[in-house]
Amino acid sequence: MATLTPQPHSADDAWWRGAVIYQIYPRSFQDANGDGIGDLKGITQRLEYVADLGVDAIWLSPFFASPMKDMGYDVSDYCAVDPVFGDLADFDALVAKAHALGVRVIIDQVLSHSSDQHPWFRESRQSKDNPKADWYVWADARPDGTPPTNWQSVFGGSAWTWNAKRRQYYLHNFLSSQPDLNFHTPAVQDALLDSVRFWLDRRVDGFRLDTVNYYFHDRQLRDNPPAVQAADDPPEINPYGFQDHQFDKTRPENISFLKQFRVLLNEYPDRMSVGEVGEGDGDRSLQIMAEYTADGDRLHMCYSFDMLGEPFTQTHFRNCIKNFDAASQTYGGAKSWPCWAFSNHDVQRHVSRWVGPGDDPVQLAKLAAALLLSLKGSVCLYQGEEFGLPEAELEFEDLTDPFGIAFWPEFKGRDGCRTPMVWESTARNAGFSSAPKPWLPVKAPHLALAARAQMGRADSVLEQYRRFLAFRKTRQSLITGQIAFLDWADGLAFVRREVAEATLCVFNLSHASVTFEAPEEHKALIGHGFTATEDGKTIALDGHQAYFAAL
């Protein structure tokens, strides 16, 4: 492997610290050619909407050439646009328009595995001695013909599939059509970094790295031990959860590759990276986030699934932030930086996840936005959450997600959060597509929440997102400030502080009314869209309300 030489870069490159990134799932954002599938031209047509929302960047889920067995997360050509989304000229036009609107562009990079239709794998599987024989993870069967290890696929079943041509098993942490690349082979790292450079030269501003802790596997192919589970725990729906994944991911060799990735990015001014840490254990995932963003020579930031699940409690949010900060001290302190999200293309939408008996989903959506945008870290918003969209309820015959198809109905998969954007409630397919039938259906409960119906309505979730994003830009402490939590049994309260500016943030996470005793010296802030009454130090907050003050 060719070792890259670190290049100096400016402190001004830190635009990403505290940035708000809007995730676009291309298949579901806007269909420009009427085939029922969203595309790059459709995204370009809607960029004014995104810019007006007030975000700093967009993150595009994969649009690369792919057989679409996992909706683009199975790449067959890292340097080509899949025809269903358009072509390279369409991508260049998207980047140019986004930049003209002041919006940066981040793209997904799926480096841990490719499609089995990638030319690299087609060559690798032909023999044990071809030039790319070791570009994927191959291993002989055990003497009894069973797979080399007990490793499980995230999508269920063994992580190994037999290939009759090579008479060996190959590793796949996800679908069998997604073979894992062998990062122990230097030429693989070089080839992947070359593909990253290709997009850097096309002026992308950063990369979201899919499953960033899955790059390396244990060379010795040791079996994973069983996960520690309480005796009364119910059996896992997915057998993946039965193991402590010590040897099939999060290997120490990963750090050296992340450093090489950062060196490449540093050759280009103002570029950034955010890694997805796929780890089930909350404490462990936060430690990985801190380690992978340490020392200023690895990733710029990471996110995990800790805030993409349950619960909606002050203890959970507080512990996520505090435990990440504590882990960061082990790996260099202030240089480690998190990125948080409440929804994305892999999880149930947070309004459905968190709404409970007596809750108003509209007010819950508004409060969740304010909370997410007030936490220490950068933020990812997922398309449609600014409408307060709930999870779509789909029939089995509507599903496209192999994960959901495999575990239905106990797990309904990821299609319910991937349905098309709803732009206009009275238009065909809510304005997403003119096709007779889009790739996933637009469900009736979403129509009333369409963008057009919410625009200009002061009480809508959409206008609250716009309002709070604008308010946030007036308070530097909410963007890059440190965080200090306050003891308050009835909700979540903290202070964000940046140099001489401090902002008090108070959140009532329940639908019941509560009071909060504010510090002696404070000045209520306005413009954020929440209402609260004050009587001296006592702040009265109705259900799912927030309060902000300057200290």
The sign of the dihedral angle between the CA atoms of 443, 352, 423, 97 is negative
End-to-end CA distance of the chain: give it in Å, rounded.
Answer: 53
| Cis peptide bond N-terminal to 338, omega within 30 | no
d(CA 186, CA 170): 19
Tokens of 289: 């986030």
Query: In whole numbers, what is the pLDDT of the chain averaged over residues?
Result: 94
Which helix or strand (DSSP H or E) is residue 352 part of? helix 350-354
Q: How many residues does the chain have?
A: 551
pLDDT for 307 beyond 50: yes
Domains of the chain with CATH codes = 11-112+186-471 (3.20.20.80), 481-550 (2.60.40.1180)
Q: What is the CA radius of gyration of the chain?
A: 23
Output the CA torsion 108→112→117→118 (10° steps).
80
Q: Which residue has the higher pLDDT, 281 or 382?
A: 382
| Least confident span in 116-120, 233-237, 312-316 | 233-237
CA gap 420, 437 in Å, rounded: 11
CA angle, 363 then 364 then 366, to 5°:
65
> What confidence tens digit (pLDDT) does each residue in 507-520 have?
999 999 999 998 87
Residue 8: pLDDT band (50, 70, 90) is: very low
Q: Which of 210, 248, 276, 279 is catalytic?
A: 210
Strand spans (E) along 357-401: 378-382
pLDDT in tens, 175-196: 999 999 999 999 999 999 999 9
pLDDT classification of 333: cutoffs 50, 70, 90:
low
**pLDDT > 70 fraction of the chain, expressed in percent and rounded:** 97
pLDDT-based confidence at 450, cuts 50/70/90?
A: very high
For residue 1, how many other CB atoms are within 10 A of its CB? Answer: 14
Distance CA 136, CA 161 (A): 12
Catalytic residue among 13, 35, 267, 501: 267
Evaluate if residue 230 carries a pLDDT over 90: no
Rounded Cα–Cα distance for residues 153 and 157 (Å): 6
3-state secondary structure 445-489: HHHCCCHHHHCCCCCCHHHHHHHHHHHHCCCHHHHHCEEEEECCC
Q: Among candidates 412, 409, 390, 386, which has minimal Cα distance to 401?
A: 412
- The yes-or-no verdict on residue 308 having pLDDT over 90 is yes
- Residue 10 is predicted with a pLDDT of 44
- Global pTM value: 0.95
pLDDT confidence tier of residue 383, bands split at 50, 70 and 90: very high
* 3-class DSSP assignment, residue 237: coil
Respond yes or no: is residue 210 known to be catalytic: yes
Distance CA 247, CA 223 (A): 7
